[in-house]
Amino acid sequence: MSDDASQVSGLTAQAAQAAAQSLTDHSRAQLEQVVAAARAVLDGSAGHVADDAVRTALAAALSEADQALAGTVAPARAATLGASVSTAAAQVAQAQQAWQAAQTAAAQAAAQAAVRARAAASPTPTSSVDPCRTTYTGPPFWTSVPTATGDGSNGNLPASSMTALSWTTDSHGTRFYLLTPAAQALEKLNVAFRAAFGHNLDIDLAYRDYATQVAMRAALGTVAAVPGTSPHGYGKAIDVPELPCEYGWSSVQRAWLLAHGPSFGWVQPAWALQNGSGPEYWHYEYTG
């Protein structure tokens, strides 16, 4: 071997050693990264896995990797240790995910149980709406007054033919007018009603002039009579308030009115009955 050859041989050996060292350093750095990441998994999973065996296994793999890192780590050895640590860390991470999912499910179950418990303790009312509230949902209308020059047609009655009820007015202070014989009969009915119930008969509407009937028809549709045909326009009808608890189908007041009204000439027409063509528990007419 010449000097040159020896020199080359030496350089080659140095290069090979350097290459091997570089490879070892590279493997070592990779293992250190794996170990650091796995240690974070181990630390973060404390108390957050159902069975600590996976953490014990990871701790053992890390311990072995630590020992290897304390000395020179051959690439093959580093690869094996890195794989072991990675696998153990993955199992811990999986166990931690399962633990967290179980925690979430338990929390949801607890929340649902609490909701059910509250519902059982205080059942939701079937209806929060006042059953005695008025059944009228349209715009307000008020009773009408007769005119001096009324021609006697529907909704155009003269004052001379009408009498106001003595005991009540509408919310505008307007007196309730009816055709005089109808008013006189209702006065007598009211005396009997008051004797029975301790208060006057409530009136919501009585006479209705033609213009008001036109407005009602426009606002309410077929619930209101065709203008010119309503018995209110003849001064022969009243509406009691649309209060179901006071005057509704099953109320004692309505039962009384149906039982005693006819003797005073006041009835609920067939069409207004509950099974009639246009049920209106509040509507009564004078037939006397």
Residue with Cβ nearer Zn ion (45 or 213): 213
Residue nearest to Zn ion (CB): 283
Residue with Cβ nearer Zn ion (197 or 271): 271
Distance CA 205, CA 284 (A): 11
Distance CA 215, CA 209 (A): 10
Sign, CA dihedral 224-230-234-238, equals negative
The residues, any chain, with a CB within 8 Å of residue 10's CB and separated by 6 or more, are none
Residue with Cβ nearer Zn ion (59 or 267): 267
Element (H, E) at 266: strand 266-267
Residue with Cβ nearer Zn ion (44 or 278): 278
Distance CA 183, CA 203 (A): 12
Residue with Cβ nearer Zn ion (136 or 256): 136
Q: How far is the CB of 283 from Zn ion (least distance, A)?
A: 4
CB-based contact 186:286 (threshold 8 Å): yes
Residue with Cβ nearer Zn ion (65 or 224): 224
Please report, to the nearest 10 degrees, the dihedral formed by the alpha carbons of residues 273, 275, 281, 286 taken in order: -10
Q: How far is the CB of 123 from Zn ion (least distance, A)?
A: 40
Q: How far is the CB of 187 from Zn ion (least distance, A)?
A: 19
Q: Which of 264, 265, 268, 236 is nearest to 254 (CA)?
A: 268
Q: How far is the CB of 205 from Zn ion (least distance, A)?
A: 6
Q: Which residues bind Zn ion (CB under 5 A)?
A: 239, 283
Q: How far is the CB of 163 from Zn ion (least distance, A)?
A: 19
Residue with Cβ nearer Zn ion (117 or 211): 211
Q: How far is the CB of 248 from Zn ion (least distance, A)?
A: 15
Q: Which of 253, 287, 251 is nearest to 268 (CA)?
A: 287
Exposure string over 180-198, b if 16+ CB within 10 A, otherwise e: eebbbbbeebbeebeeeee
Q: How far is the CB of 285 from Zn ion (least distance, A)?
A: 8
